[in-house]
Amino acid sequence: MTARAKGLLGLGICAALLVGGAALPARAGEAPSVPGTEIYNSRIRSLHQTVREVESDHRPETTAGAIPVFDWLVYGQLGVGSAYNSNLNGSSSNPQSASGVRLTPSVLALHDTGIHRTELYGIGDIRFYPSESVTTFDNTRVGGVETWEIQRDLIYRIQGQVGFDNDITSIGNPGQAGVPDEPIHYRQDFASTSLEKGFGRFFAAVGGSLAHNDFQNSKDAFGNVVNEDFRDGTDYTVTNRLGYYVSGFSYVYVEPSWQWQRYSEASYLNSDGTRIVAGVGSERISLFSGEIYTGYFSQDFEDPSYGTVDGPLYGGTLSWFPRRFLTFTANLDHGFSTSDFRAQPTNMGSMTEDYVGALSAEWSVTRAVTLDAGFGYTTEDYINSIRRDEITSASAGITYYFRNHFGLNVEYTYSDRDSNVRGAGYSSNFVSAGAKTRF
């Protein structure tokens, strides 16, 4: 994942948990999770799902909550409602508030024979603000995953996905010429593949991915085009994993990986990176599942003024299931992204080093009521610059199904960017209310 897609992952995780109600299942028989951008065959699931898969079979026990179509199970959901954003352009001095319409579709088609598992999916958060003639796509993506269990301990996985998202890169008053005065849209094409093999308690895996970002040009307050082509680029990653199962559910592993970032126009942003991490993971330890790791990274930039950025590395994903229908998930990750901010006058933009953390919770209080909450914190250190941004977000939502397939939904998200560069900080409030249907 490249560019601001990783830099704003903390915000995206919180928003995504509230967008697609099918993203986190609350009841057995409801929609499985919509896949994320992964390389390996992730098995981090809720407690009752893990127990059922380990003790029996990962195929759905029932078609409840799905529409059978030939040999497929189709899970779907659609939300329609109103939306309000208090600071659409992310400005500290000239915020533009706007109201509009919000659509949140989610579809997952599943074909599972036990050996072959095929998932086709689409999920979106589409917002249209007519007064500003602005349409945004937040965490909107379509894709497919094929998992082939060649043998019980030999698994092949391949994924392809096209995603659409926004990036608010305001560095000051958007009323200035040459400064974006609207959210910047970009498309990300993602593909990954991996092969995993078990050898008794040992396991090994090799995989790779590529992610290509294509940014659309934006406009400033005077209607001038702001060229964003310099941010178009591709990340290539190759990774290996060697691990050992300490128990039937827990394992330790070491994972070296190599990354190449290439930009179509801004070659000074090109870099080669290596990282090696060691961690511990579990499909189930008591009421927990996930992976945590620590290690070391080094990123060498083509531009000598950036040089080499290296240091310790840590992160992971951890889920806690204190009750069957209550889930807490924590994420921490590290990466690099780009910005419109010009640390050097001769360059079109800058690289940032990002640490992203997020905490989310979902509680199915009853079969009719679901509560969601999220908190995200991101630090963006601008390489070769004194600038440092801290982004904080908090979100909450409630969904009430007054009938089995029809409900009402209210959501709220607060975002705040604090920067040591004058005029770069901002805050915004987003509120949405509407109806939701599922099948």
271 token code pair? 């870099």
Instruction: Name the one residue in this structure whose structure tokens are 């008053």.
Output: 173
Q: Which residues contact 153 (CB under 8 A, 6 or more apart)?
A: 197, 198, 199, 203
∠43-191-58 over CA atoms, to 5°? 25
Residue 54: burial class (beta carbons within 10 Å; 0-12, 13-18, 19+)? middle
Q: Which structural domain, as residue segments, surrounds residue 89?
A: 3-438
Burial of 149 (0-12, 13-18, 19+ CB in 10 A): middle
Provide the number of structural domains found in the chain. 1
Question: CA 145, CA 160: separation in Å to the nearest integer?
Answer: 7
| Nearest Cα residue to 417 out of 349, 354, 332 | 354
d(CA 168, CA 219): 12
pLDDT along the chain (439 residues), means of 10: 38 34 39 82 52 53 73 92 91 85 95 91 95 89 95 92 82 63 86 93 94 88 80 94 86 94 89 94 83 93 88 90 90 87 77 93 90 95 90 95 89 93 87 90
Residue type, 99: S
d(CA 194, CA 204): 11
CATH number at residue 168: 2.40.160
Phi and psi at 266, nearest 5°, equal -90, 75
In contact, 326 and 363? CB cutoff 8 Å: yes
Mapped onto helix, strand or coil, the DSSP state of residue 316 is strand
pLDDT at 20: 34
Euclidean distance between the first and the last CA atom of the chain, given in angstroms as a whole number: 32
Virtual torsion, Cα 261, 266, 267, 272, nearest 10 deg: -20
DSSP string covering 44-112, please?
A: ---HHHHHHHHHT-SS-S--TTSEEETTEEEEEEEEEEEEEES-TT--SSS---EEEEEEEEEEEEEEE
